[in-house]
Structure 1
Amino acid sequence: MTTRQQRVAARGRRLETVAAAVTVLVAGALCAAVPAEPVAERDDRGAGLTMVAEGVSRPDAVDTEPPEAEPFVMPRSAPTRLSLPQLDADIEVFGADAEPDGTPPVPEKDDADRAAWWRGGPSPGQQGPALLVGHLDSVKGPAAFARIGSLKPGAEVVVEREDGSTVTFAVDSVEQYAKDDFPNARVYGPTKTAQLRLITCGGTWTKKDGYDANIVAFATIRS
């Protein structure tokens, strides 16, 4: 196994199905690179810590139920840009397939200012959870999803699409999970409406193991 393959394998587990006819990515860690010096606050032991902001974790607000009737959805179109007005962030998005071993697509370590859309799943605006994955930080500093953990409920997430349309989502909840306790069905399973998942690394950082958790922002289509 090459060094690249070892890094990929360490990020998560393989593709599996969590609901009928819905193949989803299963992952515990979604960062391709371990920064030499993390942007997260470090303690005197050299460990870094990043958490979601207080009051933004609202598990009961997240739609994770299968659809009961056909909802309004938009035609499929690849996302090209992501705007987060609360964070004053404008991020380029590119489509990507799963890694050869089935782990989620993640930007290369030298491409940390962009976010990857898993094109094996829904596009933003289609029914179900569209997945956008970005780095928290890199050796150069904060990366595309550096402040995802501070998004507040109701915050707008605006996605520009290849067909020239835009779709706006509202944040429902921002949650953090340990890599070995990642809720696959909750994050990747079927939903009644068009949903968005913004996923990055989180938790404690160490030079030996990198980050030990993931941060996920859940959002629902608004318009």
Structure 2
Amino acid sequence: MAVSYMDFTSPNVQYFYDLKNNRTFTKDGNNFINALGIQQMNTLGNVSLLDIYLSKANVVEPHIHQNASELVYCIRGAAVVSILNPFTKTVLNYNITPGQVANVPQGWFHWEIATEDDTHLLAIFDAPVPEFIAVSDFLRLAPRNMLAHTYCLDQAMVTQALAPIKSTTTIGPSADCPNQARPDSYPPQAEQHPQASYPGYVARQSPYPGIGNGYNRQG
């Protein structure tokens, strides 16, 4: 609900907004995000939303909202909403089509991949401004020697693989990425994780071509 101290007689009270006026991210003409929060409509209270447009095989990169849960509603097209359950160590994949929703608990890693062109998603949050931590920021900013040491990796290979990630990705892959999959080859099939240690744990093949096996790109 709207904040209780709001003066609803004020001429500055906002009841209407056109989302096209607040583009928060643009990859290209078919992949972009509009946002609505209390900065755009001060009567919203503790709710906000993202208006997401994707073409096939484009990905809202893995991320978390540390201050909000997220309800993803499909308006048009189709998408897979993937959620990493931190308690069961399981990746949950939900195919959503128009009229269907998927819920992401607060602070859980998740990502969305369009499986059709002209996909339109609405992400609704229970916070006036959803905070956003992108995996691409960790990958580009974490010290390479720390990553190599912690995960028993070759530092030179880690450095080479992650070097193209120059900025927050948000929607990937980039248009000039040489390793991106053809849209007609998506989605990949599920595969059993060879290191699974939890009964029933199933990992999904990454929607990013080559993630975990040398895939690199520029955000």
Give TM class, smaller chain.
under 0.3
Give 1 or 2: higher strand fraction: 1
Q: Whose RCO is larger (CA < 8 A, sep 6+)? A: 1
| TM-score, L = length of structure 2 | 0.26
Which of 1 and 2 has greater Rg?
A: 2
TM-score with structure 1 length normalisation? 0.26
